[in-house]
A and B are shown apart, each in its own frame.
Chain A
Amino acid sequence: MRASRPKVAIAAIAVAALAVAGCAESDRESGSGDSKKDTLVFGVAGDPKVLDPSFASDGESLRVARQVFETLVRPEEGGTKVTPGLAESWTPDAAGTTWTFKLRSGVKFHDGTDFNAEAVCANFDRWYNAKGLMQSPDVTAYWQDVMGGFAKNEDPELGPSLFKSCTAKDATTVDLAFTRVSSKIPAALMLPSFSIQSPKAMEQYDASNVTGTAEDIKYPAYAMEHPTGTGPFKFKAWDIANKTLTIERNDDYHGDKAKLKTIIFKTISDENARKQALRSGDIQGYDLVGPADVEPLKKEGFNVLTRPAFNILYLAINQKGNPKLADLKVRQAIAHALNRQALVDSKLPPGAKVAMNFFPDTVEGWNGDVTKYDYDPAKAKALLAEAGASNLTLRFHYPTEVTRPYMPNPKDIFELLSADLKAVGINVQAIPLKWSPDYLNATTSGNKHDLHFLGWTGDYGDAYNFIGTFFDRQKDEWGFNNPALFTQFKDADTTADVAARTEKYKALNKTIMDFLPGVPISHSPPAIVFGKDVTGVKASPLTDERYSSAEFK
Chain B
Amino acid sequence: MFRFIVRRLLQLIPTLLGLSVLLFIWLRRLPGGPETAILGERGTPETRAAIRRNLGLDEPILVQYARFLRRMIRLDLGTSTGTKRAVTTEFVERFPGTVELTVMALVLAVGIGIPLGYLAARRRGQFLDHASVGGSLIGICIPVFFLAYVLKAIFAENLGWFPSSGRQDPTIGATRVTNFFVLDGIMTREWDAAADALWHLVLPGIALASIPLAIIVRITRASVLEVLNEDFVRTAEAKGLTERTVRRRHVLRNAMLPVATSIGLQAGLLLSGAVLTETVFAFSGIGAFVAESISQRDYPVLMGFIMIIAVVYVLVNLLVDLSYSVIDPRVRVR
Binding site for B on A (CB under 8 A): 4-5, 17, 20-29, 32, 35-36, 39, 41, 47, 49, 138, 214-217, 239-244, 246, 262, 264, 266-270, 273-274, 276-277, 279-283, 404, 434-438, 440-442, 444-445, 454-456, 469, 475-476
Contact = CB atoms under 8 A, between A and B. Distances in A.
B48 to A, nearest CB: 9
Given A266-B170, A268-B166, A280-B164, A242 B157 contact: no
B129 interface: no
A64 to B, nearest CB: 15
Contacts of B84: 49, 138, 215-217
Contact of A437 (B168, B181, B297): B297
Interface string B45-66: 1000000001110000000000
A437 B187 contact: no
Given A215-B56, A239-B170, A434-B295, 15 more contacts: A24-B188, A215-B79, A216-B84, A240-B93, A241-B94, A243-B282, A244-B166, A246-B170, A267-B284, A269-B288, A273-B280, A273-B282, A276-B164, A438-B32, A445-B45
Interface stretch (B33-41, B260-268, B312-320): B33-41
Contact of A22 (B156, B183, B187, B281): B187
B296 interface: yes
B152 interface: yes
Given A438-B31, A440-B40, A244 B164 contact: no
Interface of B: 31-33, 36-37, 40-45, 54-56, 79, 83-84, 86, 93-94, 96-97, 152-153, 156-157, 160, 163-171, 173-177, 179, 181, 183-184, 186-190, 248, 279-282, 284, 288, 292, 295-297
A28 B166 contact: no
Contacts of A437: 31-33, 36-37, 295, 297
Contacts of A267: 282, 284
Contact of A280 (B32, B157, B173): B157
B156 to A, nearest CB: 5
A87 B303 CA distance: 51
Given A281-B160, A434-B295, A436-B296, A243 B284 contact: yes
Nearest to A36: B171
Contacts of B79: 215-216
A456 B40 CA distance: 10
9 contacts: A26-B189, A243-B282, A266-B170, A269-B288, A273-B165, A276-B164, A280-B163, A437-B33, A438-B31
Contacts of B280: 270, 273
B165 A17 contact: no
A243 B41 contact: no
A241 B96 contact: yes
Contact of A241 (B156, B171, B176): B176
Q: Looking at A35, A280, A444, A455, which has the most chain B CB atoms within 10 Å of its CB?
A: A280
A494 B198 CA distance: 61
Given A264-B170, A436-B296, A455 B41 contact: yes
B187 A268 contact: no
A5 B176 CA distance: 33
A21 B282 contact: no
A5 B177 CA distance: 32
Q: Looking at A39, A273, A475, which has the most chain B CB atoms within 10 Å of its CB?
A: A273
Nearest to B81: A215
